[in-house]
Amino acid sequence: MEQTDVKNKIDELTDELSTYAYQYYVLDNPAVTDYEYDQKLRELAELEEQYPQFARQDSPTKRIGGAVLSAFETVVHEVPMESLQDAFSENEVIDFGMRLKTVLGGEVSYNVEPKVDGLSVSLAYENGRLVCGSTRGNGIVGENVTENIKTIHSVPLVLKEALPYLEVRGEVFIPRTAFVRLNEQRALKGESLFANPRNAAAGSLRQLDPKIAAARQLDIRVFNVQRIEGHAFQTHSESLDFLRTLGFKVIDNYVCDSIEAAYAHVQQIGERRADFAFDIDGAVIKLDTLDKRTILGSTAKAPRWALAYKFPAEQKTTRIRDISVQVGRTGVLTPAAELEPVFVAGSTVSRATLHNLDNIRQKDIRIGDMAVIQKAGDIIPEVVRILPEKRDGSEREFAMPHSCPECGSEVVREEGEAAYRCTGLDCPAQLLRNIIHFASRGAMNIEGLGPAIISQLLQRGLINSAADIYYLDAQEVAMMEKMGVKSAENLLAAIGNSKQNDLGRLIYALGIRHIGEKAGKILAREFGSLDALMAAAPIELICIEEIGTTMAASISQFFTEPHNLASVQRLREAGVNFYAQNALVTDRRFAGKTFVLTGTLPTYKRDDAKAIIEGFGGKVAGSVSKKTDYVLAGEEAGSKLTKARELGVTVIEEDEFHKMIQ
């Protein structure tokens, strides 16, 4: 293909995909199937990889996230991103309208908008192209999160009109459905859950790795023109209509000719809270005429021409029929109130989280109590309080079980923690998460054995523990969805290869609480075999540097649980290596030395180089400081290399590193 043809094709695909994305993400009216879009996107990505000189800045491929950022730069807002004064009653709203009417000398019109509960951002465009996306910060200074903003499909990278300059304000959020999926995925990985969509959106937008932000399915609603060159408006509603023509996803807005009509519309929005795809915590009333806003001005904190009416959380009263216990994928036992069904905030609720036993005791919640229920963040049902005056004496106190309701293993509560945990390695409630961890890169590193395959294996009854993966039958695996003979052979070969892993990986893979990847290596080096570790007394464990009392107790507890011992025996019989390769290594040439790895090394994988350094007694850090001894730099080394040179830290390349380890 000629160079000119390549450029034309890239331009054609970029324009076509941008149009499809606008129709899908902004207009909610897809013109092609997901498959067709993905095929064209793949074609564009392949062309851009071969001919990077023709890739455009507004390419849809930029939406998937670029290089990891070292830190966020600060951005000074030329137009302050002010907060709003709050109102909680009809009287406050009417008083607001009366003040405006008195100052301006007559009736005025208002613009009413739902108030998205997300993270406020500013988007700046020069000559129609996005040049900066920043957080509100303190209203005067925010953070430059442009690369993360670019991952939001509803944010136009190029406007439909090349205005000299435009700055708009909007609210970034995670849609409710995406929030539920995100928490489900985090639970699957054993990660802490986000409390509400707002926290999730804020955390996502401030990730240093844009790929993480891209995976969170962020969205935006734009609600204000901060500054513009090349156009003028008389009213706020007119400016929002103009933003829609430029390609923005704009907040729904309604013009009202009196403050009474505005308040009535606020109440209508409140009644429809459950209908929105995103969380709202109120509605905003704004003076619609822009030149009159100038007359009113602002206080030190907020404009005098706008008001945020905050909705109270909808609460209902119902009876707690029972308190059940659910075992999460991390082994935590979570009590839940089984309720007489009640309709709250748009849906029928029959169960509410009680978090933990401490929360139950603090609120004095008993089985049979009448309780006030609401949805935290309008999503997660919770018990706000109980009504002791409704008690008749039949109510019963709740106690946590001593054994796991799923597998019968002992339930423990560690000192200083609120959570009760199941100690069973093969507890059905924890099983999926445990096997995913067992096969993960830092543990047994079994290529091809991801969450989807593990879920299928469990559903088909082919495995009931992590140890069972070493007994899989190739024919049965080949019959699974999206597998086949060759894929099954490759998977079983990868599983077989993992038997030779060093003991440190196996110790980490077992999922012993508090024992991470680094601790697994330390224990392997100190004890030399899994049998020696299993036989170690707590005092022996505590004497090891970096192994504290909590970790020692967790190890001892793990190897006294019958379910865990049975799984270890299955691993032994399968031929999994129980010995440390570096247990007898006495060469500590890197003892006391700290390395930082950056860039791509020609020969070594980063994990391999790290293992070599640690095998010789050295440490590998994630950032460069004055305490760093060496920076091992490969191709495309970034900010770490720059900082090393600034601090005078010794920089070595792979050839020199190779000489050091001979």
- 95-107 pLDDT tens trace: 999 999 999 998 8
- 3-class DSSP assignment, residue 161: coil
Do 569 and 648 lie in a common domain? Answer: no
Supply the CATH number for residue 167's domain. Answer: 3.30.470.30
Cα distances from 371 to residues 338, 363, 566, 634, in angstroms, run 11, 10, 44, 61
User: Any idea which residue has 């619609």 for tokens?
Assistant: 288
- Among 258, 283, 310, identify where a domain stops: 310
Residue 97 to residue 99: CA distance in whole angstroms? 5
The DSSP result for 53-114, as a single string, is GG--TT-GGGGG--SPPS-PPEEE-SS------EE-SHHHHHHHHHHHHHHHTS---EEEEE
Do 569 and 598 lie in a common domain? Answer: no
In a domain, 628, yes or no: yes
In a domain, 81, yes or no: no
The question of whether 249 is a catalytic residue gets the answer: no
In a domain, 413, yes or no: no
Report pLDDT digits (tens) over 201-217: 888 888 888 888 888 88
Do 284 and 196 lie in a common domain? Answer: yes
In a domain, 405, yes or no: no
Q: How confident is the model at residue 65 (pLDDT cuts 50, 70, 90)?
A: low
**β-strand pairing of 650-652 with 630-633:** parallel
Cross-strand partners of 229: 165
- Residue 75's Cβ-count burial label (10 Å; 0-12, 13-18, 19+) is buried
CB-based contacts of 196: which residues, under 8 Å, 6+ apart?
A: 117, 179, 279, 376, 377, 379, 380
Which amino acid belongs to residue 234? Q
Higher pLDDT, 603 or 449: 449
In a domain, 580, yes or no: no
- 3-class DSSP assignment, residue 652: strand
Look at 162-176, 186-200, 260-274 and tell me which has the smallest mean pLDDT.
186-200
Across the chain, what does the average pLDDT equal? 87
Cα distances from 12 to residues 5, 351, 485, in angstroms, run 10, 52, 40
Average pLDDT for residues 150-176, to the nearest whole number? 94
Q: Report residue 651 as tokens.
A: 């920089």
Average pLDDT for residues 120-145, to the nearest whole number? 93
Instruction: Kindly tell me if the per-residue pLDDT of 413 is higher than 80.
Output: yes
CB-based contacts of 332: which residues, under 8 Å, 6+ apart?
A: 419, 420, 421
What pLDDT is attached to residue 419? 84
Do 465 and 608 lie in a common domain? Answer: no
Residue 624 to residue 643: CA distance in whole angstroms? 7
Do 262 and 323 lie in a common domain? Answer: no
Phi, psi angle pair for 66, to nearest 5°: -105, -145
Do 155 and 168 lie in a common domain? Answer: yes
- Among 33, 64, 95, identify where a domain stops: 64
pTM score above 0.85:
no
For 180-194, b/e burial (b = at least 16 CB within 10 A) is: eebbeeeeeebeeeb
Question: 3-state DSSP: the chain helix, strand, coil percent, rounded to 5?
Answer: 40, 20, 35
Question: What sign for the dihedral angle of Cα 243, 246, 248, 253?
Answer: positive
What pLDDT is attached to residue 584? 43
Instruction: Kindly tell me if the per-residue pLDDT of 250 is higher than 70.
Output: yes
Cα distances from 485 to residues 111, 472, 488, 489, in angstroms, run 63, 13, 5, 6
What pLDDT is attached to residue 51? 86
Average pLDDT for residues 545-553, to the nearest whole number? 84
Q: How confident is the model at residue 355 (pLDDT cuts 50, 70, 90)?
A: confident
Average pLDDT for residues 506-527, to the nearest whole number? 89
Q: Report residue 380 as tokens.
A: 């997660």
In a domain, 59, yes or no: yes
Do 629 and 568 lie in a common domain? Answer: no
Instruction: Kindly tell me if the per-residue pLDDT of 69 is higher than 60.
Output: no
- 3-class DSSP assignment, residue 507: helix
Do 493 and 364 lie in a common domain? Answer: no
- Residue 123's Cβ-count burial label (10 Å; 0-12, 13-18, 19+) is buried
- Residue 205's Cβ-count burial label (10 Å; 0-12, 13-18, 19+) is buried
Number of continuous H segments (helices) and E segments (strands) in the chain: 24, 22
The DSSP result for 559-609, as a single string, is TT-HHHHHHHHHHHHHT---B-TTTT----TTTT-EEEEESB-SSS-HHHH
Supply the CATH number for residue 637's domain. Answer: 3.40.50.10190
Q: Please identify which of the residues 62, 115, 375, 619 carries the catalytic annotation.
A: 115
Do 636 and 605 lie in a common domain? Answer: yes
What is the percentage of the chain residues whose pLDDT exceeds 70?
94
Look at 49-58, 99-108, 467-476, 604-613 and tell me which has the smallest mean pLDDT.
604-613
In a domain, 586, yes or no: no
CA atoms within a 13 Å half-sphere pointing along the CA-CB vector of 93: 24
What pLDDT is attached to residue 243? 97
Residue from 261, 280, 240 nearest 110 by CA: 261
Do 465 and 348 lie in a common domain? Answer: no
What pLDDT is attached to residue 585? 46
Do 123 and 169 lie in a common domain? Answer: yes
Phi, psi angle pair for 537, to nearest 5°: -80, 155
Look at 136-140, 142-146, 219-223 and tell me which has the smallest mean pLDDT.
136-140
User: Any idea which residue has 């440390």 for tokens?
Assistant: 580
Instruction: Kindly tell me if the per-residue pLDDT of 189 is higher than 70.
Output: no
In a domain, 220, yes or no: yes
Q: How confident is the model at residue 503 (pLDDT cuts 50, 70, 90)?
A: very high
Number of domains in the chain: 5
Average pLDDT for residues 438-443, to the nearest whole number? 89
Residue 359: how many CB atoms within 10 A of its CB? 15
User: Any idea which residue has 């092609």 for tokens?
Assistant: 32
Do 447 and 486 lie in a common domain? Answer: yes
CB-based contacts of 117: which residues, under 8 Å, 6+ apart?
A: 173, 196, 197, 198, 278, 279, 280, 281, 377
Average pLDDT for residues 46-51, to the nearest whole number? 85
Instruction: Kindly tell me if the per-residue pLDDT of 45 is higher than 50.
Output: yes
The overall longest dimension of the chain from CA atoms, in Å, is 89
Residue from 144, 157, 120 nearest 246 by CA: 157
Average pLDDT for residues 554-575, to the nearest whole number? 90
Residue 343: how many CB atoms within 10 A of its CB? 11
What is the percentage of the chain residues whose pLDDT exceeds 90?
42
Structural domain range at position 196: 86-310
What pLDDT is attached to residue 70? 57
Q: How confident is the model at residue 568 (pLDDT cuts 50, 70, 90)?
A: very high
Angle between helices 90-104 and 259-271 (to 10 degrees): 150
